[in-house]
Homo-oligomer: A and B are copies of this chain.
Amino acid sequence: MPLYDLNGKNKYYTLYCCIRGDILRGKLKSGERLPAKRALAKDLGVSVVTVQLAYEQLLAEGYVTSRERSGYFVERVLPQENFLVQREERGAHKKPPEPETEPESGHGRSQPYADDHTQYIADFVKGATPAKLFPFSVWTKLTRAVLADCGEHLLERVPCDGDAELKAEIAAYLYRSRGVDTDPRYIVIGAGAEYLYGVIVQLVGRDKLYAVENPGYATISGAYALNGARFAPVPVGEEGISLGGLKQINADVLHISPSHQFPTGVITPAYMRSRIIEWALGGDRYIVEDDYDSEFRLSGRPLQSLFSLCPERVIYMNTFSKTLAPSMRMGYMALPPALYKKFLKLFSSSANVVPLFEQKTLAAMLKGGYFERHLSRLKNYYRDIRRQTLETLGTLFPDCEVYDTQGGPHLLARLADGYGKDIFDAAKDSGARVKRLSDYFLAPSAEPKKYAVFNYSGVTAEQLAALKFKKYNK
C-alpha cells in the first residue's frame, strides 16, 4: 500500500496536505528527512513534478527547509517545540533584506517624488492593474442581468453586514481559492480596506495598541491613527514579523500580511505562524490578517491562512480593488464570532455602506466563475511582466541582485556596493521610477542593503522594451 492515497485532480495539493498533516500531527518529526522525490513519486505512482510541487509548497510555507544536495528536512513547527527554537539554529536558506539589523540613519514616512517632475519611461511605484485586463464586457453583461433579475429589490436597504448572497459567494470563493473555511454569516462587506480598518478599531477598541509591520503600507498605520487608535511599528525580518519586538511593545492587536508582506515580499514560515497564534491566545489579543495581494502568488498554491489556524482570534480581510478595479470600493472581512456579535450590536440599525447594485454584480461574477477566470488571466499577465521585468533588470544592471518570493506583483532589487551609485539613482537615470525600500519604513530604521521596490503591476511590456532600448542607445 502506498504511503499516501492520491486521487482526484489536484494530486500535488493532496500530497502537500498529507505531508503537512503528518508534520502537524508529529508523525513526521522536526529534522526528519522527507523521502527522495524520485523514490516517493515511484512509490505513489505519480510524476516527479507532482512531488516537486508539493515539496516546494511545503518549503514556501516554511514546513520544511531544503539543504543543497541533501534534500528536504522537516522544520520545527509544533508549538511545544517552538519555544526552543533559536533564530541562530535556522539555516540561511533565503536571502532576505534584513532591514532591522544594522542601524543607519533612516528615512521617515516621507512621500518622495512629490516635487519630482522627471518624465519616466516606466513607473514601478503606482502599480494600478491595467484597465484593459478588466473583463469589461462580462461586467456590462452582468450589470444588465442584475438590473433585469433583481428589479426593485435593488432599492431595498442592505443589512449592516452586507448582502447575504454576496457573503455566501465570498465564503465559497475563500474556500475554493484559499482553503479558508468560514461561516458566511461572519463575513462583513465594507467600502474598501481603509473603511474596514476603521470598523476594526470600533470593534476591537480605540484604546488598544495596534502593531503594524515595518516596513509596510503607510495607509495601514495612517488609518489606525486617523481612527484615534495608537499604533507601533514592529520590524519585519526574514521570518516575518519579529516576535520579540511584538512582545516588547505589549500590543493588543497585530496587523500582518503573512502570505506576502509588502514591500519585502517575506512569507511568514509555518512555525512562526503557530507562534503568532500563541501570542494572540496568550491574552485578549487579535490578529488582523490582511491578505491584500495574496492572489498574486505566481507559483504554487496559496499559503495557509492564519485565520484557518485560529478563527477565534483572527480577522481575515481582503479587498477587490486590486483584483477588479480601484473604482469598485469593495472589501470584506471574516470576523471571529465574538466580534461579529459586537458588530451586530453596534451597527444593526445602520445600512451597509456598499451599494446593493455593486454587491449583486460582484456576487454574479463570483457565482459564474468570471472572477476566478479573470484572476487567472491576470496572473498569467503578471507572470509575463515579471519575467520581462527580470530580463530588463538583468540588461540594465547585469550585477543586480534580486529578492523575489514570486508573490507578485513586486520584487526587490539592489546593486552591489561597489557599483558607484545605488539602484534608486541608477533606475532613475534609466527612466524607471522606483521607491527605495527605506521609503516604506514607518520609523527611522536600518536598511543596509539599499534595496528598491519594483512594483511591476502598472508597467507594460512596451515600457519595459523602451527601457532596454534606451540602454542600448546610450
- Using CB atoms and an 8 Å cutoff, list the residues of chain A in contact with chain B: 128, 131-132, 134, 136, 140, 143-144, 147, 151-152, 154-158, 191-192, 194-195, 198, 202, 206, 218-219, 222, 226-228, 321, 325-330, 346, 349-358
Residue pair A354, B226 in contact (C-beta under 8 Å): no
Residue pair A147, B152 in contact (C-beta under 8 Å): no
Residue pair B152, A327 in contact (C-beta under 8 Å): no
One complex includes copies of this chain to the number of 2
Residue pair A128, B157 in contact (C-beta under 8 Å): yes
* Selected A-B contacts with CB under 8 Å, 14 pairs: A134-B155, A155-B327, A192-B351, A192-B353, A194-B350, A198-B198, A219-B349, A226-B346, A227-B227, A321-B351, A328-B355, A329-B352, A329-B354, A330-B355
Q: Complex Cα distance A312/B136, Å?
A: 43
Q: Which residue of B has the minimal Cβ distance to A194?
A: B350
Residue pair A155, B191 in contact (C-beta under 8 Å): no
**A330 / chain B contacts, CB cutoff of 8 Å:** 355
**A136 / chain B contacts, CB cutoff of 8 Å:** 151-152, 155
Q: Complex Cα distance A151/B346, Å?
A: 38
Residue pair A191, B194 in contact (C-beta under 8 Å): no
Contacts A157-B326, A158-B326, A329-B353 supplied; 11 other A-B pairs, CB < 8 Å: A134-B152, A143-B143, A157-B327, A218-B349, A219-B350, A226-B346, A227-B228, A321-B351, A327-B351, A329-B351, A357-B358
**A356 / chain B contacts, CB cutoff of 8 Å:** 327-328
**A321 / chain B contacts, CB cutoff of 8 Å:** 351
Cβ contact of A329, chosen from B144, B154, B355, cutoff 8 A: B355
**Closest chain B CB from A422 CB (angstroms):** 25
**A206 / chain B contacts, CB cutoff of 8 Å:** 228
**A357 / chain B contacts, CB cutoff of 8 Å:** 327-328, 357-358
Q: Complex Cα distance A325/B147, Å?
A: 15
Q: Complex Cα distance A258/B358, Å?
A: 34
Q: Complex Cα distance A210/B134, Å?
A: 45
**Closest chain B CB from A336 CB (angstroms):** 19
Q: Complex Cα distance A350/B331, Å?
A: 14
**Closest chain B CB from A153 CB (angstroms):** 8
Q: Which residue of B has the minimal Cβ distance to A152?
A: B131
**A329 / chain B contacts, CB cutoff of 8 Å:** 191, 351-355
Cβ contact of A147, chosen from B140, B191, B192, cutoff 8 A: B140
Q: Complex Cα distance A21/B194, Å?
A: 47
* Most chain B C-beta atoms within 10 Å of own C-beta, residue among A136, A151, A357: A357
Cβ contact of A326, chosen from B140, B198, B351, cutoff 8 A: B351
* Most chain B C-beta atoms within 10 Å of own C-beta, residue among A158, A198, A329, A346: A329
Residue pair B327, A154 in contact (C-beta under 8 Å): yes
Residue pair B132, A152 in contact (C-beta under 8 Å): yes
Q: Complex Cα distance A351/B143, Å?
A: 23
**Closest chain B CB from A368 CB (angstroms):** 18
**A218 / chain B contacts, CB cutoff of 8 Å:** 349
Cβ contact of A353, chosen from B132, B195, B228, cutoff 8 A: B195
**A328 / chain B contacts, CB cutoff of 8 Å:** 155, 355-357
**A144 / chain B contacts, CB cutoff of 8 Å:** 144
Residue pair B152, A354 in contact (C-beta under 8 Å): no
**A228 / chain B contacts, CB cutoff of 8 Å:** 206, 227-228
Q: Complex Cα distance A220/B105, Å?
A: 47
**Closest chain B CB from A151 CB (angstroms):** 7
Q: Which residue of B has the minimal Cβ distance to A151?
A: B136
**A326 / chain B contacts, CB cutoff of 8 Å:** 155-158, 351
**A198 / chain B contacts, CB cutoff of 8 Å:** 198
**Closest chain B CB from A460 CB (angstroms):** 15
Cβ contact of A355, chosen from B128, B152, B227, B358, cutoff 8 A: B358
6 tightest Cβ-Cβ pairs between the two chains A and B: A155-B325, A327-B356, A191-B353, A157-B326, A131-B152, A228-B228
* Most chain B C-beta atoms within 10 Å of own C-beta, residue among A352, A353, A356: A353
**A346 / chain B contacts, CB cutoff of 8 Å:** 226
**Closest chain B CB from A348 CB (angstroms):** 9
**Closest chain B CB from A265 CB (angstroms):** 22
Residue pair A155, B140 in contact (C-beta under 8 Å): no
**A358 / chain B contacts, CB cutoff of 8 Å:** 355, 357-358
Q: Which residue of B has the minimal Cβ distance to A191?
A: B353
Q: Complex Cα distance A331/B146, Å?
A: 24
**Closest chain B CB from A73 CB (angstroms):** 44
